[in-house]
């Protein structure tokens, strides 16, 4: 009932507004010359609004940057993230001027060339020179962006050299939680698959595989040593999830039936980041970023980046798979 009353009320408001407008319009038509179904007066007002909008739009943009700029992600906490952040800034340096300049032309021309009965529009239908110019300039700019982008991309996607010192972690997603498995002293992850899932063995690790024995399974949080490459392997046991670690500029889908990988070098410890962000409660997180079910919005795990010594101490405290 309330709903009905509200709807009727809204309709009434709209209708009365319309009636008022109609009267205003009739009045305007009587006053001004009608050109192409629009009165000259209306046309002038609209032209002016073009300028007003231009200014307001830029002001809104600036206001947002000023107001929300600090809410954006802090400096990248991974090595490659610094590079991609720089690429992002270069891209901004290209697209923001394009955005601003084209908008100025668009709305300024609209304002300036509003209908004037004493003027004729210029019959200007094409110019090969102009069109060549604005094909070539974007092409050059794009070439730069593409080259820079692709070289970073290739570097980021190359797995860690297995000879080098690194940490190997398998992250497993399921509705709606994460678990992780560290490779242990042998540096190798044992076999795993959904067919081995049973009771406490929620990650489905194959007990018979000798590489499994020293693997370490953790839930709730993972620890990473600062400055050492971390090689992640991702799995999912039900639907697609995505492991998103925004502070490290890292993301990879977790796909059932397929193993995916990503790697990065953490560069800033959690403690340091607390200072940088001026936030005592700061914590790195890993969150799910692919629609995966009702509780998709709450599928998270903490990440703690610490010195190598602290990391090793923590890892030593974790139980080996064989002990379970």
Residues engaged in binding Cu ion (CB under 5 A):
241, 288, 292, 299
* Contact present, 206 and 190 (Cβ < 8 Å): yes
Residues 273-292 that bind other proteins (CB under 8 A): 281, 283, 285, 287-292
Smaller CB distance to other proteins: residue 63 or 308? 63
Smaller CB distance to other proteins: residue 60 or 312? 60
Give the per-residue contact string, 188-207, with other proteins (x = CB under 8 A; - = no). Answer: -----xxx-x------x---
Torsion of CA 90, 93, 98, 103, to 10 degrees: 140
User: Applying CB under 8 A, does 129 fall inside the site for other proteins?
Assistant: no
Which residues have a Cβ under 8 Å from the Cβ of 200 and sit 6 or more positions away? 324
Residues 218-257 that bind other proteins (CB under 8 A): 234, 237-240, 242, 244, 246-247, 249-253, 255-257
The least CB distance from residue 303 to other proteins, in Å, is 12
Q: Which does 283 bind (CB under 5 to 8 A by kind): other proteins, Cu ion, none?
A: other proteins
Cis check: omega of the bond before 244, within 30 degrees of 0: no
The least CB distance from residue 288 to Cu ion, in Å, is 3
Three-class SS of residue 253?
Answer: strand
The least CB distance from residue 295 to other proteins, in Å, is 6
Smaller CB distance to other proteins: residue 57 or 315? 57
Smaller CB distance to other proteins: residue 187 or 293? 293
- Judged by CB under 8 A, the number of residues near other proteins is 124
d(CA 173, CA 240): 8
Query: How far from 17 is each of 25, 63, 284, CA to CA, in Å?
Result: 12, 32, 53
d(CA 55, CA 53): 5
Q: Which does 64 bind (CB under 5 to 8 A by kind): other proteins, Cu ion, none?
A: other proteins
Using CB under 8 A, pick the residue from 5, 66, 93, 123 that binds other proteins. 123
Burial of residue 215, with CB atoms counted within 10 A of its CB: 0-12 exposed, 13-18 middle, 19 or more buried: buried
d(CA 152, CA 249): 13
Smaller CB distance to other proteins: residue 57 or 314? 57
Three-class SS of residue 51?
Answer: helix
The least CB distance from residue 213 to other proteins, in Å, is 23
Smaller CB distance to other proteins: residue 105 or 162? 105
Three-class SS of residue 291?
Answer: coil
For residue 204, the cross-strand partners are none
Give the per-residue contact string, 131-170, with other proteins (x = CB under 8 A; - = no). Answer: x--xx--xx--x--xx--xx-xxx-xxx------------
d(CA 96, CA 2): 47
Using CB under 8 A, pick the residue from 5, 66, 72, 309 that binds other proteins. 72
Residues 14-43 that bind other proteins (CB under 8 A): 14-15, 18, 21-22, 24-25, 28, 35-38, 42-43
Return the closest-CA partner of residue 283 out of 292, 291, 274: 274
Rounded to 5°, the CA angle 148-79-282 comes to 125
């Amino acid at each position: 009932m309330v709903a009905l009353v509200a709807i009727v009320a809204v309709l009434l408001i709209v209708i009365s507004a319309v009636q008022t407008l109609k009267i205003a319009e009739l009045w305007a038509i009587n006053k001004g010359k009608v050109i192409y179904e629009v009165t000259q007066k209306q046309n002038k007002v609209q032209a002016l609004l073009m300028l007003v909008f231009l200014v307001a739009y830029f002001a809104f943009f600036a206001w947002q940057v000023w107001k929300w700029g600090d809410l954006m992600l802090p400096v990248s906490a991974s090595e490659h993230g610094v590079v991609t952040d720089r690429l992002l800034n270069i891209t901004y340096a290209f697209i923001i001027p394009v955005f601003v300049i084209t908008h100025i032309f668009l709305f300024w021309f609209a304002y300036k060339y509003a209908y004037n009965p004493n003027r004729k529009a210029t019959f200007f239908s094409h110019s090969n020179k102009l069109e060549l110019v604005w094909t070539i300039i974007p092409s050059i700019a794009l070439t730069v962006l593409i080259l820079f982008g692709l070289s970073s991309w290739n570097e980021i996607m190359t797995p860690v050299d297995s000879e080098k010192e690194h940490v190997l972690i398998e992250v497993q997603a399921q509705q709606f939680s994460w678990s992780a498995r560290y490779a242990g002293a042998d540096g190798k992850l044992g076999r795993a698959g959904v067919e081995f899932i049973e009771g406490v063995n929620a990650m489905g690790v194959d007990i018979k595989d000798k590489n499994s024995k020293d693997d370490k399974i953790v839930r709730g949080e993972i620890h990473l040593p600062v400055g050492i490459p971390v090689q992640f392997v991702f799995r999912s046991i039900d639907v697609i999830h995505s492991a998103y670690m925004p502070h490290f500029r890292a993301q990879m889908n977790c796909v059932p039936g397929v193993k995916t990988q990503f790697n990065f070098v953490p560069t800033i410890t959690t403690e340091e980041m607390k200072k940088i962000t001026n936030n005592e409660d700061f914590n790195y997180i890993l969150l799910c970023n692919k629609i995966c079910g009702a509780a998709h919005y709450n599928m998270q795990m903490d990440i703690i980046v610490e010195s190598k010594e602290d990391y090793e101490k923590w890892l030593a405290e974790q139980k080996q798979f064989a002990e379970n």
